[in-house]
Amino acid sequence: MNRNIKSALISVFYKDGLEPIVRKLNELGVTIYSTGGTQSFIEGLGIPCTAVESVTSYPSILGGRVKTLHPKVFGGILARRDFEDDQKHVAEYEIPLLDLVIVDLYPFEETVKSTSDEKTIIEKIDIGGVSLIRAAGKNYKDVVIVASRNEYGNLLDILNAKHGETGIEDRRKFAAAAFAECAHYDVAIAGYFNQAEDASFQLSVGNKQSLRYGENPHQQAAFYGDIDALFTKLNGKELSYNNLVDVDAACQIISEFSKPSFAIIKHTNVCGVAEREDVVSAWEAALAGDPESAFGGVLVTNQPIDLEVAQKINELFFEILVAPAFNEDALALLKGKKNRILLQQKESFYPKKEYKRILNGVLVQQADTTNYADWKEAGARNCSDAEKENLVFANIVCKHLKSNAIALIKDKQLVGKGCGQTSRVDALRQALEKSKQFGFDLNGAVLASDAFFPFDDCARLAHEAGIKAIIQPGGSVRDNDTIEYCKAHDMALVLTGTRHFKH
């Protein structure tokens, strides 16, 4: 059923984008009701509006906490136009019918981000706005509800195209968007009050961005979130589902390093990573770790991209490069391929929590932000200073490989890795084969494992390859087998007490 908009209630926090709507409503002869700052804004445009206070006979009270919470306001929204009893009450109590409600919500999330002052935060919990939105949404068969400035464009299009008339589907779409707005708002407030783990999982993320497809072309997909808060896209096509997954992995590993570092990601696994004194050396060492897998990968660094490193990177086909800054000449060179995605990272990123859909529920866990809890020297000797630096580096790298995982490191360069294997010894065999494939000498290298060694077979293979030091969590009932082997073969062994499974 179509409805004509004859009257409107407008009360918003954000005024940007409102002017053309108000002018169109005035052009259509719509009676406008308003209050407070919105009323002043409308009158400032030279457009007449009726103060809500003149309808309710009550002023704004309690410091603005109560403005529109009145039967004459809610009656005008909730009255069903085709219910005889409702219309009798409207006439009896002189309630003005409201056909359009434009109301947004106080900026609660923005306030939480900008201050820790609880009094200020609490005052940004909207009461009247949520109530008005829900009332208008409930009565969508008769009333249009616009609950966000994001919907202003849609409303203006309808006003222009239909001259103030709306169809039932129009109103239902606005109501759906309005209830989603309220739900997101309530989740944010609940999250503020429930700092500890609570009995229900609540997460609301807006800013939907439809993707070309999901993990595979036959799967539909979308990204929800404000990616522009993390990156400025300087070049290239839109990020795909798989791009986003790999960029997430890239940002997590690079955030672990403070010295100049470069990493190459493929299917969320790091296939090359190195730490050096300068960005060019870091890139060359990272690429050398596995130049075959680097093809078509996601590159990430914690250093600005200058022309010298850009020239070297430009020799490789890659999907994405993430860096904190790009020199102008480097950017001009890298932009030579229009589909190549260049992301300037605005701030370091590492999640606090991780979520995963499992069966008919959701798993939630703290992110793995730890490197090691203990440093127990359990081998034939204590690590040298150089070995310790490399073991710490190796343990970080191994944490970012899919389990079962092994990382071989020499001079803070990944020289072999095994990941996603069903046994630990197979992961080591894969890592050794990779190091052999690219000509690395493993004498003096170190090894990191994401979980304990159930047998001494990994220590044996490592020793035979020339590896001198191992870091692993420990905790196996047969830890002593590995400990005794390392003691007998002059190998350093560190037990950390911290496992790093990644699935």
Cα dihedral: 175, 180, 185, 186 (round 10): 100
Q: How far apart are CA 49 and CA 71, in angstroms?
A: 20
Strand 7-11 relative to strand 31-34, pairing: parallel
The pLDDT value given to residue 84:
87
CA 105 vs CA 59, 115, 185, 386: distances in Å? 20, 18, 8, 57
Distance of CA 94 to the CA centre of its chain: 50
- pTM value is 0.77
The pLDDT value given to residue 371:
94
Q: How far apart are CA 101 and CA 76, in angstroms?
A: 10
Residue type, 450: D
Q: Which helix (H) or strand (E) holds 222?
A: strand 222-224
The pLDDT value given to residue 196:
62
Contacts of 16 (CB under 8 A, 6+ apart): 149
Peptide bond connecting 382 to the previous residue in cis, omega within 30 degrees of 0: no
Residue-by-residue DSSP string for 195-214? -S--SS-------EEE-S-S
* 28: three-class secondary structure by DSSP: coil
pLDDT tens per residue across all 503 residues of the chain: 888 899 999 999 989 999 999 999 999 999 999 988 999 999 999 999 998 888 877 777 777 777 667 888 889 899 998 888 888 888 888 889 999 999 999 899 899 989 989 899 998 998 888 999 999 999 999 999 999 999 999 999 999 999 988 999 999 999 999 999 999 898 888 888 887 666 677 777 888 889 999 999 999 999 999 999 999 999 999 999 999 999 999 999 999 999 999 999 999 999 999 999 999 999 999 999 999 999 999 999 999 999 999 999 999 999 999 999 999 999 999 999 999 999 999 988 898 889 898 998 989 888 999 999 999 999 999 999 999 999 999 999 999 999 999 999 999 999 999 999 999 999 999 999 999 999 999 999 999 999 999 899 999 999 999 999 999 999 999 999 999 999 999 999 999 999 999 99
The pLDDT value given to residue 197:
61
- Which amino acids are annotated catalytic? 138, 267
The pLDDT value given to residue 142:
93
The pLDDT value given to residue 81:
87
The pLDDT value given to residue 273:
97
